[in-house]
Amino acid sequence: MRWFKSQKHSHSGSKTDPAKPAGIPLPEEEQIVALSTELASNETKLRDTFRGCSDINFRPISGNPSVLLLYTDGLIDSKTLDQAVLMPILYHAAPASPSAAPISCQIIQEQLVAIAQLQTVTTINDVMEGVLKANIALLVDGENQAVIADLKGFEKRAVEEPAAEVSVRGPRDGFTENLRINTGLIRRRLRSPKLKMESLTIGQLTQTDVVITYIEGVVSNTILEEVRNRISRIQIDGVLESGFIEEFIEDVTWSPFPQIQNTERPDIVCASLLEGKVAIIVDNTPFALIVPMTFWIGLQAVEDYYERSIYTTFVRFIRYSLFNIALLLPSLYVALSTFHQQLIPMNLLISIANSREGVPFPTFVETLLMEFMFEGLREAGIRMPKAVGSAVSIVGALVIGQAAVQAGIVSAPVVIIVATTGIASFAIPRYNFGTAYRLLRFPLLILSGVLGLYGIIGGLFLMIIHLLGLRSFGVPYMSPVVPQIPLSLKDVFIRAPRWSMNQRPALFSGGNKTRIPKGQQPSPNKGEANDE
């Protein structure tokens, strides 16, 4: 733990250091240049900036006065550009209509361009930024301002069911790579002005849009402030995925446990927002981040809240036992069969002894090998093209499962143990939380191979000490179990019926904590609906 702590200190120390270390290849801050009244001079500057950018189109329109249209090919909707921008301006500028007033930014805005989002800017930098963010820019000769119109029209993936978080019951839409579609999916579910979406841009080169979203009055202001602070401290050349941001804002890097939840599902984001959490949505990735995260969230699936509570409670108990199996089964097997044979039931011991006859490796090495192979199989399976994917499972099942046992290279119990562990680890609903257990299995296995049960207990102690010290944005990771918050326990080991979960989680919601007024337990002779 001391090791972790000191890591944390040195980490945060360098973060808050205001002096940027020398040698970081970030572009120097560009100077802000105001637009001049001369179109030619503006055009020269812009052409100079965009030299070598074949996808930036300059479309001069001669007229009275002449206009320069600037846009990025591929980012904008060129059909709409033709109809809603180009055609009106061309007609207006055409000599056939001399009666028309000379073109100005005001006329463009008020009469010519049929686009909802318009904006006037006065610097070259804003023009550049606008053009790069799928806007068109219109510069008019004789004016030191330009009109920027939003005309996004790039290719995007449709809203599909998220591949990593499947549910039997529940909405099937998932986030896409487009930030605005994603915020739209959230807004569609939370039609309240209290849902706030703060926009900011991160990444000197990628200029990625990031949205911090929360529900005002429900969110805890300290957590929100912490999120804002941590995100604003990020200095990076590019953000390609929300993972880039996650690594900058998580509490402890050297922990196997994820302290920030990620999801592809808008319903999970909305449910978290309703609990008072903060979500961070990053452009160009379907994965949104949700903070703070606790240990128990890693073991909850989205369907827990859609299915009936009694079934969910049952499933949770299964899940909790499976996750213990995923963590402990291989190391328990090694510890028991090499150190504490007394603890194995006699008949089981005899059959283990029987199957171990002639196996060349010690149990520990055997288990480690098989675990290693299993992880390899899984890794291979993920990256394989779908057409080849089935080959992996055939090779895995036949070669490792059967042939190795028949050849007497590994014993059957180890194969069973590794397979059971594998199945159990697939039952952990959140993928990145499951990885923590895949990771921890190996140190525990080594400890058990060296020290037996003492090693396992020692390893578990270290793990629990670490978990108890872990915090996610100021919220203890093990809450609401440690520290215990009895009201919030309704959603940890059991899942209480919806009408009885009256309070928002105490630790990470601020303001109004009441979710559901009391006394809504359904019963047949309640209310007037029954009187008809």
Partner 1 sequence: MNRIWRTLCVMLSLLLITGCWDSSEVNDLAIELAWGIDKAPNKKIMISAQVINPSKISGGQGDGAGGGGEGKPYFVVAGDGMNTLDAVKRIQAKLSRQVFRGHRRVIVIGEAMARQGIKDVLDTYTRDPNLKLRTDLFVVKGSTAKDLLKVSYPLENIPGLGVLGEYNQVGTSAEMGFLHFLLSATSEGTSPYLPSVSIGMNPPPQDGGLRDKSDIEGFRIAGPGIFNKELKLVGFLSVEEGRAMRWISGKLKEIEVSAKLPQEAGNVSMDLYKLGQKIEPIAQGGNLHIHVTLTGKGAIRENNTPLDLTNPDHITLLENTLNKQVEEHALRTITKVQQKYGTDVFGFSDVIRRKNLPLWKSIREDWEAVFREADISVNTKLTVRRIGITGPSLHLNPNEIKK
Q: Which residues of this chain interact with partner 1, rule CB under 8 A? A: 2-3, 6, 10, 337-339, 341-342, 346, 349-359, 362-364, 405-406, 408, 411-412, 447, 449-452
Residue 380 phi, psi (nearest 5): -65, -40
Residue 118 phi, psi (nearest 5): -125, 155
Which DSSP category does 36 fall into?
A: P
AA identity, residue 480:
P
**Minimum gap (Å) between residue 454 Cβ and partner 1:** 10
Based on CB atoms, which residue is closest to partner 1, 442 or 499? 442
> What does the angle CA 318 – CA 319 – CA 323 come to, to the nearest 5 degrees?
120
**Minimum gap (Å) between residue 352 Cβ and partner 1:** 5
What is the C-alpha separation between 495 and 311, in angstroms, rounded? 9
Contact 168, 186 (CB under 8 A): no
Based on CB atoms, which residue is closest to partner 1, 14 or 99? 14
Based on CB atoms, which residue is closest to partner 1, 236 or 446? 446
Contact 254, 310 (CB under 8 A): no
What is the C-alpha separation between 411 and 455, in angstroms, rounded? 23
Helix (H) or strand (E) holding 199: strand 195-202
Contacts of 505 (CB under 8 A, 6+ apart): 275, 276, 480, 485, 488
**Minimum gap (Å) between residue 55 Cβ and partner 1:** 47
**DSSP string of 487-502, one letter each residue:** GGGGGTTS---GGG--
Based on CB atoms, which residue is closest to partner 1, 232 or 354? 354
Based on CB atoms, which residue is closest to partner 1, 16 or 406? 406
**Minimum gap (Å) between residue 446 Cβ and partner 1:** 9
**Minimum gap (Å) between residue 444 Cβ and partner 1:** 13
**Side-chain half-sphere of 291: how many Cα atoms within 13 Å?**
30
Based on CB atoms, which residue is closest to partner 1, 322 or 418? 418
**Minimum gap (Å) between residue 350 Cβ and partner 1:** 6
Based on CB atoms, which residue is closest to partner 1, 132 or 359? 359
Based on CB atoms, which residue is closest to partner 1, 3 or 96? 3
**Minimum gap (Å) between residue 437 Cβ and partner 1:** 22
Structure tokens belonging to residue 415: 């194969």
* Extended strands (E) in 203-344: 208-215, 261-263, 278-282, 288-291
Strand partners, 195: 215
**Minimum gap (Å) between residue 451 Cβ and partner 1:** 6
Contact 289, 283 (CB under 8 A): no
**Minimum gap (Å) between residue 386 Cβ and partner 1:** 36
**DSSP string of 255-284, one letter each residue:** -SS-SSEEES-HHHHHHHHHTT-EEEEETT
Based on CB atoms, which residue is closest to partner 1, 162 or 455? 455
